[in-house]
Structure 1
Amino acid sequence: MSHANLMSNYFNPNSVYTEEDFRRRFRMRRRVFERLLCDVQQGNPYFRQKRDRAGHPGFSPHQKVIVALRMMVYGSPTDSMKETHGMFESTCLDTLEQFCDIIVHVYKDEYRSKPNQEDLN
């Protein structure tokens, strides 16, 4: 249900919130988020939706990335993620760790700069 609400609010063609709302809430444009989502899904199977042992769908890639971003951007505690996204503390922490690892892996060459002399000193 939280995935359906997330999609309805932000990602469906007639979403509740506008592009400006999305940018204000997530600190990035929707197309940047979608690129990030695609990159983390391709780079780490953790961010693909799976089924649990009972056959029910697990958390969606959108939910996992949103939780990780909210924890990083806003410093949101894990217990607030349970209330808003239905994700337990241990899953939130796993998600954040997986997210940070894959971001470094995927983007390090593109965004890492070589140290200058001041850095070396």
Structure 2
Amino acid sequence: MTHANLMNNYFNPNSVYIEEDFRRRFRMRRHVFERLLHDVQHPYFRQNRDRAGRPSFSPHQKVIVVLRMIAYGSLVDLMDETHGMSESTCLDTLEQFCDTIVQVYKDEYLREPNQEYLNQLLRKVEDHGFPGMIGSLDCMHWDWKNCPTGRQ
């Protein structure tokens, strides 16, 4: 029933919510979601039957739950209430999703920068007053007079 509602709300031709609603709720366009859903199709994300012979969660349900947890920092208890997915299943799904995303997209997106891109980054951070910095600015080297004592 949860899968049928999800499909009726977002994915069927005459769905309840329009593209703008989908983008606002899931922080991406529907075609990006569908590409992501297609790309993570390995055994964990396929719908199987549980030990009682009932259908398990659909790929759509699993990816939607993970995206809501990531996009909004949603608690797993909320996923149980809204999607009927237990805490352990939510956490397993999140872990499988993250591992799968790294494996699928690492060659395309997770690579060391080439020299041209590195130079572009250096120019950009220099314009913002941080010459020579590559990486995040953690402010550990700055004195902060009101710093909580636990952080000093």
TM-score range, shorter chain: over 0.9
Which structure's CA Rg is the greater one? Answer: 2
Aligned to 1:4: 4
Aligned to 2:37: 37
Aligned to 1:49: 47
Give the percent of matched residue pairs that are identical in Structure 1 and Structure 2: 77
Aligned to 1:114: 112
Higher-RCO chain (CA-CA 8 Å, sequence separation at least 6)? 1
Separation of aligned partners in 2, 1:112 and 1:71: 22
Q: Answer yes or no: is 1:21 the counterpart of 2:21.
A: yes
- Which structure has greater helix proportion? 1
Residues 14-53 of structure 1: CA distance to partner in whole angstroms, max 9, x if unpaired?
0000011101111111011001001101xx2100000012
Residues 40-85 of structure 1: CA distance to partner in whole angstroms, max 9, x if unpaired?
01xx210000001221100000000011111111000000000000
Aligned to 1:94: 92
Aligned to 1:58: 56
Shift of 1:8: 0.3
Separation of aligned partners in 1, 2:91 and 2:38: 21
Separation of aligned partners in 1, 2:48 and 2:99: 20
Structure 1 unaligned regions, length at least 5: none
Dislocated runs of 4+, deviation >3 Å: 115-120
Aligned length: 118
Superposed CA RMSD: 1.4
SS in 1 for 2:40: helix
> TM-score, normalization: structure 1?
0.92
